[in-house]
């Protein structure tokens, strides 16, 4: 059992923010989990993540140390686009799960990273080393991976602050969008009818997606999506919300014969390098199966 305490020396911070400063080896999601589970007390009382603190209050925390779990290194097929001492940029193929979970313990990107890379950040634990952000199993394209905790923390902050980290996707959507460009702003939460899915909701977390139609085909639009936020399944949920689901999306649209999932590709990634502070941008072409599908369509 790990235990600790500290006194509030700045009454302008929320509990979760101050806790992160005192416990820098814990991820934001882990801190949130501890607070919500009652493992963090303020003056002996159960606390809330957004609680405003007062000078001199005592914060006490306790939690079980994570048990080491074995993740097997495997030779998984994916391309490394760029690598230095701090980061890796990869091209994730469609069908590859990012990290192990209860239902998938092998054959993931993390298994492949452990095979190819000597060092990875440990902030997200043994099941998600190096993983700062993720792509859905059947979404292909660019991802950044952290090789150390220094890089992980800075990149995670870039993503959270939504100013230096930029992600752009290309998708083929069913039908024709009413406007050639627009902005979708909603809240996204777990679907109350199916906990494996996400849905537009009156509550949940704010989700903002900008879009631009690149090309139109008979019955389809090729659309560029730019994320301002990074919610689970965000582009897929928003595409369904505007009644133009992504082609091949078996969860939010319908399956398409000959496709193994949605035609959604993370093709552009831009960020500030955590150590050099230089802006880095990467772009990757559409995968061949995506091009093959487009080649069979009639351009308008």
136 is catalytic: yes
> How far is Cα 128 from Cα 130, in angstroms, rounded to an integer?
6
Bridge partners (DSSP) of residue 25 are none
Bridge partners (DSSP) of residue 52 are 14
DSSP label at residue 52: B
Please provide the size of the chain in residues.
300
Q: Which residue has the tokens 């505007």?
A: 242
CB 86 within 8 Å of CB 148: yes
Q: How many CB atoms lie within 10 A of CB 18?
A: 20
Q: How many CB atoms lie within 10 A of CB 231?
A: 20
Annotated catalytic residue within 16, 136, 221, 249: 136
- Helices 28-36 and 15-22: crossing angle in degrees, nearest 10, is 120
DSSP track, 99-144: S--SS--SSSHHHHHHHH-S----TT-TTSTTBSS---TT-EEEEE
User: What is the C-alpha radius of gyration for the chain, rounded to an integer number of angstroms?
Assistant: 21
Contacts of 197 (CB under 8 A, 6+ apart): 190, 191, 233, 251, 252
> How far is Cα 121 from Cα 168, in angstroms, rounded to an integer?
25
Catalytic positions: 136
């Amino acid at each position: 059992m790990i235990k600790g305490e500290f006194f509030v020396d700045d009454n302008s911070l929320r509990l979760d923010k101050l806790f992160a400063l005192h416990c820098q080896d814990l991820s934001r999601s882990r801190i949130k989990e501890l607070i919500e589970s009652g493992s963090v007390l303020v003056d002996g009382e159960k606390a809330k993540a957004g609680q405003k603190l007062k000078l001199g209050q005592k914060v006490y925390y306790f939690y079980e140390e994570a048990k080491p779990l074995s993740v097997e290194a495997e030779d998984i097929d994916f391309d490394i686009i760029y690598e230095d001492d701090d980061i890796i940029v990869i091209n994730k193929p469609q069908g590859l799960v990012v990290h192990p979970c209860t239902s998938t313990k092998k054959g993931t990107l993390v298994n492949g990273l452990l095979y190819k890379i000597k060092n990875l950040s440990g902030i997200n634990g043994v099941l998600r080393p190096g993983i700062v952000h993720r792509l859905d199993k059947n979404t292909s394209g660019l991802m950044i991976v952290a090789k150390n905790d220094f890089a992980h923390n800075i990149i995670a902050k870039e993503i959270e602050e939504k100013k230096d980290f930029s992600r752009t996707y290309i998708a083929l959507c069913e039908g024709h969008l009413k406007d050639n460009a627009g902005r979708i702003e909603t809240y996204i939460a777990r679907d109350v009818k199916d906990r494996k899915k996400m849905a537009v909701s009156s509550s949940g977390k704010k989700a903002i997606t900008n879009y631009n139609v690149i090309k139109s085909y008979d019955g389809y639009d090729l659309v560029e999506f730019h994320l301002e936020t990074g919610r689970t399944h965000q582009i897929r949920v928003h595409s369904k919300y505007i009644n133009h689901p992504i082609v091949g999306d078996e969860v939010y649209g319908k399956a398409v014969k000959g496709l193994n999932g949605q035609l959604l590709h993370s093709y552009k990634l831009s960020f500030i390098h955590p150590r050099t502070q230089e802006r880095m941008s990467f772009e990757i072409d559409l995968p061949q199966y995506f091009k093959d599908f487009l080649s069979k369509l009639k351009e308008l």
